[in-house]
Amino acid sequence: MEFLLSILIQGTLVLVVEAGLSCGLSRTIFARALSTVQLDLELDHADITAFVSLSMGGLIAHVPLDFPFWMKRIHIGCKQDYTSSAEDCNPDGSTVEEDRFEFRSILFADFPFSDYGILQPATEFECRQSCLLDCTCAVAILQDPSLSPDGTGTCWKKKLPLSNGRFNRVDIDRTALFKVPKSNASRRSPDTPKPSDGNRNAAILILSVLLGTSAIFNFSFLAAIALIFFCLYRRRLQHLDGVHSHSRGDLETNLRSFTYKELEQATNGFKEELGRGAFGTVYKGELSPSYGNYVAVKKLGKVVQEGEREFKTEVKVIGHTHHKNLVRLLGYCDEEQHRLLVYEFMGNGSLSNFLFGVLRPSWQKRLQIASGIAKGLAYLHEECSTQIIHCDIKPQNILLDDCLTAKISDFGLAKLLINSKTQTLTGVRGTKGYMAPEWFRNSPVTVKVDVYSFGVMLLEIICCRKCVEVEMDEEAILTEWAFDCYNEGMMEKLVENDEEARNDVGRLEMLLKVAIWCVQYEPVLRPSMRTVSMMLEGAVQVPSPPCPFPLHSMSMKYQNGRVSFSSLVP
């Protein structure tokens, strides 16, 4: 019998280790993990628990690449003890000898975002065969066909290195099928480096304990381990039962499913309103300390005709986003006609309150906020597994945490609402003043609409004024006034009462040029948000921009107390 150790941190599959692997585990940490049920105390993190199972046969050891910094105490370079080589693969990428390999399965496990191939529909046999015949495939993830609406399964093929491992008995209905050699000992890679003294000691410790000459001692030792971690396992299941008692487990995320009654009680009957906008009304709520005490509960407006399926699809996409400049989604409610989202609470409110209040925020802090927003948008546009176009970037949708870190809110919601809830009269989404010209013409909507909105908002961050100020006559439209000031070499007019900004003319000019590039009439002329972020960081030189309002463009004008849009084409 070989021993399999699986360590999970808050539902994340952190480590899978079999006895005898050249895995750099700390001897102290490993020994403590086997001798106490208080593993969380040894790792200085109150929310850590461990789950250990015993398994016949071995699995390759894997460690995700994106583990938290405090996880570095647990391992120092754990890796699989077998790597495929050129001799295992045919020129076409198929496996030379399929009978050398077999599969080991872990239920309720997944490795999101690292798949390179998909097979649909697929039975478990077809999924195994597809991975077996593919030299690149290290793990196949199979979704249970019985849980699919049409009764067919889906198979995702993964290659090394694996990252972002997930294990959840409630929310994950998938099985991870690990392709392993039938005999690890005979298949060890010749390129595996010689373990360090620390690794050798750890291996000696594991082997001496598990592979001792006394079968009775081994059996007793493993039984004791099983008993200890059975207690841990029961405690974790009890915790999951309490936390996820209402979860339906159909979103493939770690989001919690709330009942409407729970959120009604948490918000005291939706009493304290934090704000309202195109996507619905936000209320302050209070949950357990594990959610940071306070939360923001958003009641969505009437959702699109597709209803529940569209809602769950979008919530799944939102739930898979993780970035420090995005407001974190904690849970949702899709009970009957109710559609609610639960977010982390931002104590400093929106950027609009920060920019347009009585006291002008510091120049340096505004620059940091602009850079953070650009990074968040670049993540949504280019780094998510599913590209997200926000469609309504404006200061009201940028929230600030206790450290004044900018966090984008309401992303991923544009597809959920009926057009009448989007503040416009057609199918247009967004807010006037921040909307790209292509919204008003028969043109494809791309991520460049967010770039345009960011450019308008960047001008607001520079000047600490709104994009439309009806009482300022010729300076009413900020984009036009800002370009006039830049074109006439009078940039200081934009920051007349800001001495800190006036003393930083070089950066002021750089920010102004970035903003003008972002609000170009033609989408193809606007940079990507990744490029914008690099410009703001000083990593890319910003060329002089052309006029963003060519004669054939649509112009935004203020007249008789009203903002209107008109085309200049004769």
Q: Is 112 in the same domain as 126?
A: yes
Has residue 539 been placed in a domain?
yes
Q: Is 212 in the same domain as 166?
A: no
Phi, psi of 128, rounded to the nearest 5 degrees? -65, -45
Q: Is 306 in the same domain as 445?
A: no
3-state secondary structure of 165: coil
Percent of the chain with pLDDT over 70: 62
**Residue ending a domain, choose from 294, 312, 344:** 344
State pLDDT tens for residues 478-490.
999 999 999 999 9
What value does the mean pLDDT take over residues 46-59?
33
Q: Which residues are catalytic?
A: 392
- Strand-pairing partners, residue 25, are 75
Q: Is 397 in the same domain as 538?
A: yes
Q: What is the 3-state secondary structure (H, E, C) of 358-413?
A: CCCCCHHHHHHHHHHHHHHHHHHHHHCCCCCCCCCCCHHHEEECCCCCEEECCCCC
Buried b (16+ CB within 10 A) or exposed e, 308-325: eeebbbbbbbbbbbebeb
In this structure, what CATH number is given to the domain that contains residue 274? 3.30.200.20
In angstroms, rounded to a whole number, what is the distance separating the alpha carbons of residues 4 and 403?
Answer: 43
Q: Is 536 in the same domain as 475?
A: yes
As a whole number, the mean pLDDT across the chain is: 72
Q: The pTM is what? A: 0.54
Q: Is 234 in the same domain as 305?
A: no
Q: Which residue has the higher pLDDT, 204 or 153?
A: 153
Has residue 2 been placed in a domain?
yes
> What pLDDT does residue 443 have?
81
State pLDDT tens for residues 165-200.
777 777 788 888 988 887 643 444 444 444 445 445
Q: Which of 187, 315, 199 is nearest to 248 (CA)?
A: 315
Has residue 251 been placed in a domain?
no
In angstroms, rounded to a whole number, what is the distance separating the alpha carbons of residues 82 and 84?
Answer: 7
State pLDDT tens for residues 556-568.
554 555 545 444 4
Has residue 250 been placed in a domain?
no
> What pLDDT does residue 191 have?
43
Q: Which residue has the higher pLDDT, 318 or 236?
A: 318
**Residue ending a domain, choose from 328, 344, 360:** 344
Q: What is the 3-state secondary structure (H, E, C) of 500-523?
A: HHHCCHHHHHHHHHHHHHHCCCCH
Has residue 235 been placed in a domain?
yes
Work out the pLDDT band at 425, boundaries 50, 70, 90: very low
Q: Is 68 in the same domain as 142?
A: no
Q: Is 301 in the same domain as 219?
A: no
Q: Is 515 in the same domain as 400?
A: yes
**Is the model's pLDDT at 287 over the cut of 90?**
no
Has residue 501 been placed in a domain?
yes
**Is the model's pLDDT at 207 over the cut of 70?**
no
Residues 446, 522 contacting (CB under 8 angstroms): no
Domain containing 6 equals: 1-81+192-245
In the block, residue with structure tokens 């209803």 = 307
421 is in an annotated binding site: no
Work out the pLDDT band at 411, boundaries 50, 70, 90: confident
What value does the mean pLDDT take over residues 470-479?
83
> What pLDDT does residue 224 have?
74
State pLDDT tens for residues 301-352.
765 544 566 677 778 888 888 899 999 999 999 888 888 999 999 989 899 9
In this structure, what CATH number is given to the domain that contains residue 118? 3.50.4.10
Q: Is 71 in the same domain as 107?
A: no
Peptide bond into 68 cis (omega under 30): no
In this structure, what CATH number is given to the domain that contains residue 428? 1.10.510.10
Has residue 12 been placed in a domain?
yes
**Is the model's pLDDT at 49 over the cut of 50?**
no
Q: In the chain, how long is the greatest CA-to-CA distance?
A: 95
In angstroms, rounded to a whole number, what is the distance separating the alpha carbons of residues 181 and 168?
Answer: 27
**Residue ending a domain, choose from 245, 271, 287:** 245
Q: Is 451 in the same domain as 538?
A: yes
Q: Is 260 in the same domain as 149?
A: no
Phi, psi of 259, rounded to the nearest 5 degrees? -85, 160
Number of domains in the chain: 4
Has residue 111 been placed in a domain?
yes
